[in-house]
Amino acid sequence: MKKHTLGLIATMVAGALNTAHADTLKMECASTSTGKSYCDYIKNRFEKETPHKLEFVQLPPASDEKLGLFQQIFAAKDSKAVDVFQADTVWLGVLDKHLLDLTDKVKDLQPLFFQSAWNNDVVNGKVKAVPAFLDAGAMYYRKDLLAKYNEQPPKTWEELTRIAAKIQKGEREAGKKNFWGFVFQGKAYEGMTCDALEWIASYKGGTFVDKDGKITVNNPQAAKALDTAAGWIGTISPKGVLGYMEEESRAVFQNGDAAFMRNWPYAYVLAQDPTSPVKGNVGVIPVPKGGEDGQHAATLGGWQWAVSAYTEHPDASVQLIRILTDAESQKMQFKTVGVAPSRLDVYEDPEVIASAPYLAEFKDVFASAVPRPAVETKSQFPKVSKAVFNAAYDVLSGRSTGEKAVADLESKLKRIKGKQWK
Amino acid sequence: MNHHSESLPSKGSSSKANLQSEVIPQKKKRSLQQRRSRAAWILIAPALILLASVAGWPLLRTLFYSFTDAALDTPDVYNMVGFDNYLSWVDGESFGVLADPLWWKAVLNTLWFTGISVSFELFFGMLLAMLMNQKFRGQGLVRAAILVPWAIPTIVTAKMWGWMFHDQYGVINDLLTRVGIIHEPLAWIAEADLSMWAVVFADVWKTVPFMALMLLAALQMISADLYEAARVDGATAWQRFTRITLPLIMPAMIVALIFRVMDALRVFDLIYVLTSNSEATISISGYAREQMVSYQQMGSGSAASVLVFMMVAGIAACFLYIGRMNDEGKENK
Amino acid sequence: MKLTRRQRHITHQTLIYAAAALVSVICVFPFYNAILTSLRTGQELFLTNYLPTSFHWENYVNALMVNGIARSLLNSFIVASVTVGICLLVSITAAFALARIKFKGRKYILFTILCVSMFPQVAVLSGMFELVRFLGLYDSLGALILSYTTFSLPFTVWVLTTFMKSLPVELEEAAIVDGAGLWVIISRIFAPIMGPSLVTTGLLAFIGAWNEFMFALTFIISNEQRTVPVAIGMLQGASQFELPWGNIMAASVVVTLPIIVMVLIFQKRIVSGLTSGAVKG
């Protein structure tokens, strides 16, 4: 590690000496047309406001592939591949030692962002990334169907189950044989961890591992949460939901064959697309709480801007980060790409409010977002996540009960943790 | 007749060689053999050098790292841990890949998949090869059509079949319901057993062209005269198939089988996309990848990879042995 | 009931045509589905329809222009051709030695060559990455050509060896009696006859290299050098979750067509004219 710190200092000194020259930075950019127009905007600003130049690299959109690629690049300590990039919310613990420490340079930005998102990017007291945009789980529902059956949007899972069953029965009797009450992500992958976190946290069953690194999952509320979810399979959710990721569940809801869907905000814009059969009938509410004394819990997602620790241009990179995260850029990002901003002030902007009234609905969801315990479990989060989604999958597929599953999960997590999370 | 054995010289040439050896003195015969051996090594050298220089480093490195506890993103920080990644005991509990029940489940899944999938591929490949071997109008188009599954990139194939097996909107459920075989949509991807069959289906669809093409090339090399002679002798179609076709394409069939088995044992993409990805359906490559990439553990990931290699090598060796025995059996007829 | 020769012939032909039709439908149907999907957009993508419902050609425009599939087609073609070319060249001589010359260690060499392609790709990835960077080939097509030989070469060596073994010994002996040296035997006598197997092996190896994903993803990071599978993998919707299915299918159709064309061109060569004339003449 000493060699690494010395190298870092040397790089920064060299960087300081070099600020007179124009650096060429490499930044990651999405390969969509909307992404490209946003990147061009950033490029213009960056090259106008600083003496440096900006180039783009494109990386695979799928989270797993991107992470694998970064790991290879960082293992080789490559300084030429990329300087500034986006890290998924749960990568901070895993990539920690490969991210440049930004604490001193961006401390002043802290109060401007959603707290839960900001805190997620602070590892061991050091700021390693700045939130780029937010994502949080939300519950979508069919406004027209709820009106037709005289129901209000549910506040608890029990209400949702009841309403979904009622609507499903009604619609099937009316001839829609393949109608289902509720669809979500039930495949055994990271997305399931997000859904499971929401269920368990909404019943006040904790977040698998708490802020101090203690394993808290083995409790009766968590067991109840999983059993409730298992009760949906085959009754209000098709058995196939155990193989759904985000797109498969969206297909069912958007086609009009489901009353409720749990998904990320991206689905909203698509559901309102002119060709969508449910256009104009989609509403959004926070994820229901578990029983009257539960709490609303949405899993925090989103991406963060980070700097590679092996960059040869740390100062220029920080300047780029500051440009990327100021209010103007966030507003432009929202206008072009359509992702939810991570800065609080953008939500007050009248232009933004006028063009996207639904954003106000999401703001409350974001404020109460619950992060996965990636920061607490550090580089072992992938293992933790795998244990979690496998445990949840077992309960959902009927191979285990909630009580047994959370007890097994606790012992698995204990084995992973060993003496401490590292 | 042609002989294909590696160990026994063909009867035709040995009789001629004997003639020649009577004419050529012993010393010259030995040096002829030596010269041919040396020539052989020179001929093989380019392939060996190329392979060694490109594959040597990565493979040795994998073997090396299987004895360490390195992490994927910091490969220069490690301790040597001997066989701990493979199997070790600490405080009465066993650790390591070989002690992990998930590893053994993966082995079972993979062997099941390989056995079923390759059997289907051989069967259908043989049928297809015989079909393509016939002369009929439009055979060029049919050959191109048959190669389409193999030509589509695997990632696209996996996702495509993923959608075709979707329980609500997939084509498969739709077709089955129309024909009347099922009345409720099947949850192909969600149920562990069904999903493995979905994987077999998609894999067979994709790789039958490979088998068919290899077998076709082998079929093409059989002279038509042999069939004519057999027909004149009154042999039935089945007899022609088992006595002429099968033995003559056996070497090519074994090679095609070896390569297919090697690929099937290392299946990963299809299982990831077409199953719920749970522990019930994981494959050994999926296990190795999980250790390596998801958990960052280069040590146990490399150990798992070495174990995969040993399994594949063992099975391939069995096939070769069977092939050799088959050749020797033919010699003895 | 004994059928006349003509009746047998007709039944035979009918069976063949029926089988050919069935097989073609099964093999092509998913591809046909892909083409249909590539012409749809929005919600239609998710529904089952067996006939074209719309013709959104802009999916193809998107796939080709906006995301540079065109460039990646060229890259893939170069990589696959060069890889296969090198492998075939090196393999012919090696296969001849392994098939026709009995020398010590032959079996072990063959098996070792096979062993190289037995490791899971993910294990070889890190080592390959280091090698590629060491040689300075990172982010260039050379990296792919180099790494693809690890799985193409064992395949081509083995298949050519097998096919060479089944060539009649009489050919070679006739040539030796005529006083031909090894090189002449290889180039004038064996190579032409190996036509079908060379084409088959080359075609299969070409497709293998064309569709490889993992190395192509890891060793190349800039757009100009990307190959086709990764370019398709990069197609994304507005968010990380959305799969622009119409675009992806359009790209896949575009990518598969060259291969189909190649097969149509080369499939005549897979027909052999092997032993006729070589031994009798």
Q: Do C16 and B298 touch (CB under 8 A)?
A: no
Min Cα distance B270 → chain A (Å) is 14
- For helices C121-134 and B26-65, the axis angle rounded to 10 degrees is 100
Residues of A in contact with B294 (CB under 8 A): 64, 382-383, 386
Is the pLDDT higher at C245 or at C272? Answer: C245
Separation CA C251–CA C244 (nearest Å): 11
User: Which of C51, C50, C67 lies closest to C59 in space, CA to CA?
Assistant: C67
The reply to whether A353 falls in a domain is yes
Domain boundary among A332, A352, A368: A368
Judge whether A10 lies within some domain.
Answer: no
Nearest-CA residue of chain B relative to A76?
A: B73
What is the per-residue pLDDT for A169? 93
- What DSSP line would sit under C52-86, residue for residue? -----THHHHIIIIIT-HHHHHHHHHHHHHHHHHH
In a domain, A165, yes or no: yes
Structural domain of A36 = 21-128+300-368
Q: Is B94 on the interface with A (CB under 8 A)?
A: no
Is B122 a residue whose pLDDT tops 90?
A: yes
Which positions in chain C touch A270 (Cβ < 8 Å)?
242
Residue contact C93–B156, C-beta within 8 A: no
Q: Is B13 on the interface with A (CB under 8 A)?
A: no
- Is the pLDDT reported for residue B246 higher than 60? yes
What is the share, in percent, of chain B residues with pLDDT greater than 70?
88
The answer to whether residue A99 sits within a structural domain is yes
Which CATH number goes with the domain that contains A231? 3.40.190.10
Which has more confidence, C4 or C1?
C4
Ranges assigned E (strand) in A308-415: 340-341, 369-370
Q: Is the dihedral of CA B29, B30, B35, B41 positive or negative?
A: positive
Residue A16 covered by a domain: no
Please tell me if residue C258 touches chain A, with a CB cutoff of 8 Å.
no
Would the pLDDT of C11 be above 60? Answer: yes
Can you tell me the mean pLDDT for C96-119? 85
Identify whether residues A121 and A147 lie together within a single domain: no
Q: Which chains border A (3 or more CB–CB pairs < 8 Å)?
A: B, C
| Cα–Cα distance measured from residue A124 to residue B61, given in angstroms and rounded to the nearest whole number | 34
Residue A19, pLDDT score? 47
Best CA proximity match to B199, nearest among B120, B299, B132, B146: B120
**SS3 of residue C20 by DSSP:** helix
Going by the DSSP 8-state scheme, the letter that residue C3 receives in this structure is P
CB-closest option in A59, A72, A254 to C129: A72
Q: Flag whether pLDDT at C23 surpasses 70.
A: yes
When CB atoms are compared, the residue of C66, C217, C237 closest to A69 is: C217
The residues, ordered by sequence, that sit 6+ positions from C260 with a Cβ below 8 Å of its Cβ are B144, B147, B148, B151
Confidence class of residue B333 from pLDDT cuts 50, 70 and 90?
very low
Helix (H, G, I), strand (E, B) or coil at B283: coil
**So what's the pLDDT on residue B117?**
94
Chains sharing 3 or more CB pairs under 8 A with chain C: A, B
Among A255-264, C37-46, C268-277, the range with the most confident prediction by mean pLDDT is A255-264
**One domain for residues A205 and A283:** yes
Q: How far apart are CA C61 and CA C14, in angstroms?
A: 42
**Whether C102 contacts B13, CB under 8 Å:** no
In this predicted structure, the answer to whether residue C273 has a pLDDT above a threshold of 60 is no
B294 reaches A (C-beta below 8 A): yes
Nearest to B72 among A71, A188, A386 (CB): A71
The span from the CA of C276 to the CA of C280, in Å, is 7
Q: Which of C130, C217, C236 sits opposite A32 (nearest CB)?
A: C236
The reply to whether A8 falls in a domain is: no
Residue B103 CB neighbour total at 10 angstroms: 21
Q: What is the mean pLDDT of residues B287-292?
A: 84
Same domain, A335 and A380: no
End-to-end CA distance of chain B: 12
Residue C276, pLDDT > 60, answer no
Q: State whether A289 and A410 are in the same domain.
A: yes
Mean pLDDT of C200-224: 86
Q: Which residue has the higher pLDDT, B164 or C4?
A: B164
CA–CA distance, C33 with A170 (Å, rounded to integer): 34
**Whether residue A63 is found in the same domain as residue A86:** yes
3-class secondary-structure state, position A146: helix
The predicted pLDDT at position C231 comes to 83
> Within this chain, do residues A327 and A232 fall inside the same structural domain, yes or no?
no
% of chain C exceeding 90 in pLDDT: 9
Res C222 pLDDT > 90: no
Long-range contacts of A381-387 (CB under 8 A, 24+ apart): A381/A90, A381/A93, A381/A94, A382/A94, A382/B294, A382/B295, A382/B296, A383/A416, A383/B294, A383/B295, A384/A208, A384/A209, A384/A413, A384/A416, A385/A90, A385/A190, A385/A193, A386/B290, A386/B294, A387/A412, A387/A413, A387/A416
Q: Which are the contacts of A223, defined by CB distance < 8 A and separation ≥ 6?
A: A205, A401, A402, A403, A405, A406
Do both A179 and A115 map to the same domain?
A: no
One domain, residues A158 and A263: yes
Specify the number of domains making up chain A. Answer: 2
Q: What was the pLDDT predicted at A170?
A: 92
On the question of pLDDT at C280 being above 50, the answer is no
Q: Do A178 and B168 touch (CB under 8 A)?
A: yes
Whether residues A287 and A345 share a domain: the answer is no
Average of per-residue pLDDT across B146-157: 82
CA proximity to A160, closest of A271, A291, A355? A291
The nearest CA of chain B is from the CA of A97 a distance in Å of 10
The residue that leads in pLDDT, B160 or B123, is B123
Residues 180-199 of B with CB under 8 A from A: 185, 187-192, 195
My answer on whether A145 and A191 are in the same domain is yes
- Intra-chain end-to-end CA distance of chain C, in Å: 44
Cβ contacts below 8 Å, chain A against chain C, sum to 78
Task: Say if residue A81 is in the same domain as residue A26.
Answer: yes
- Positive or negative, the Cα torsion across A335, A337, A338, A343? negative
Q: Is the pLDDT of residue B22 over 60?
A: no
The residue behind tokens 């016939």 is B134
Residues of chain A with pLDDT under 70: 1-21
**DSSP strand pairing (A126-127 vs A122-123):** antiparallel
- The domain boundary residue, chosen from A368, A386, A406: A368
For residues A233 and A313, state if they share a domain.
no
Q: What are phi and psi of B71, to 5 degrees?
A: -100, 155
- Whether A385 is in a domain gets the answer yes
What pairs with residue A405 in β-bridges?
none
Q: Alpha helices of A121-214 — where are they, by DSSP H?
A: 143-148, 157-173, 190-202
- Yes or no, beta carbons of C166 and B72 under 8 Å apart: no
Considering only CA atoms, which of C220, C248, C241, C255 is closest in space to residue A30?
C241
Residue in B71, B277, B296 nearest the CB of A187: B277
Taking CB atoms and an 8 Å limit, are C236 and A255 in contact across chains? no
Strands A369-370 and A298-307: parallel
ipTM of the complex: 0.81
Q: Which residues pair with A131 in a beta bridge?
A: A304
Tokens at B74, concatenated: 């910091």
Alpha helices by DSSP H, A50-156: 63-75, 92-95, 103-106, 115-120, 143-148
Residue A13 lies in a domain: no
Whole-number Å distance between alpha carbons of C252 and B155? 10
Which partners does chain B have (≥3 C-beta pairs < 8 Å)? A, C
pLDDT given for residue B29 in this prediction: 63
Greater pLDDT, B53 or B1: B53
pLDDT of B8: 41
pLDDT tops 50 at residue B11:
no
Tell me the pLDDT of chain C averaged across its residues: 80
Structure confidence by residue, pLDDT tens digits, C135-169: 888 888 999 999 998 889 999 998 888 888 877 77
CA pair distance C46, B264, nearest whole angstrom: 30
Rounded to the nearest angstrom, the minimum Cα separation between A337 and chain C is 6
- Rounded CA separation A109/B17 (Å): 89
CA distance C123 to A317: 33
- Burial label for C4, CB within 10 Å (0-12, 13-18, 19+), is exposed
Given a cut of 50, whether residue B4 has pLDDT beyond it is no
* Tokens found for residue C268: 């005549």
Q: What is the average pLDDT value for chain B, to the nearest integer?
A: 81
**Of A209, A194, A59, which is closest to residue A136 (Cα–Cα)?**
A194
